[in-house]
Chain A
Amino acid sequence: DTGVSQNPRHKITKRGQNVTFRCDPISEHNRLYWYRQTLGQGPEFLTYFQNEAQLEKSRLLSDRFSAERPKGSFSTLEIQRTEQGDSAMYLCASRGQDNQPQHFGDGTRLSIL
């Protein structure tokens, strides 16, 4: 069990640029989640995959955000035309069966200049 892996750990970009983050879940975990955490807050749910199917999206996920999990393994989260308000920690989590908890990666910290 190598844990949930996220890359990059840090991303600094200029406003208006596109960014893409990657998440590799714990192997054999078929459920994958993305959360966003801003300073002083708890994580907020963005979206959820079961295998390759995106089953739920939060209203926080504006049309500038898109997430994929093409083969049911790793996932990517893309933000287009980044804005200052997108600065946050983006966390990925994965889970196996229904009665198992979500395990989190170390996150990608996004800073918008």
Chain B
Amino acid sequence: GEDVEQSLFLSVREGDSSVINCTYTDSSSTYLYWYKQEPGAGLQLLTYIFSNMDMKQDQRLTVLLNKKDKHLSLRIADTQTGDSAIYFCAEMTQAGTALIFGKGTTLSVSS
């Protein structure tokens, strides 16, 4: 079945780059997503990438996709304290309906 795995914690200093990694199982996924969740809030869509792309850049965010290894990463440049949150990687189910989420990576940014 479909599964998404992420490392659980990442700690960085303000101003450094953060790289959050994710692996997924469904090679037929057409889109892969990154969402951000702050305490007590819902999920905020950060960015997403179509499966025929290798990279997507959006301001401080860079997404890299390695389809062969089923590996997705999110790089946040110049990480700020406001970036502290839980980051979720998600893939679309084969049926193209629901999203399958990882358990989330907690990013802690220290000043």
Which A residues fall within an 8 A CB radius of B?
Answer: 4, 6, 33, 35, 40-45, 48, 55-56, 58, 91, 93, 98-99, 101-107, 109
Contact = CB atoms under 8 A, between A and B. Distances in A.
Contacts, number: 59
A4 to B, nearest CB: 8
A104 B35 contact: yes
Contacts of B98: 33, 45, 48, 56, 58
Interface residues on B, range: 20 to 34
Interface of B: 4, 31, 33, 35, 40-45, 48, 50, 88, 90, 93, 95-104
**Looking at chain B's contact residues, is the secondary structure mostly helix, strand, loop, or mixed?**
strand
27 contacts: A4-B42, A6-B42, A33-B97, A35-B99, A41-B104, A42-B4, A42-B90, A42-B104, A43-B88, A43-B101, A45-B93, A45-B97, A45-B98, A45-B99, A55-B97, A56-B98, A91-B42, A91-B43, A93-B43, A93-B99, A98-B96, A99-B31, A101-B31, A103-B45, A104-B42, A104-B43, A104-B44
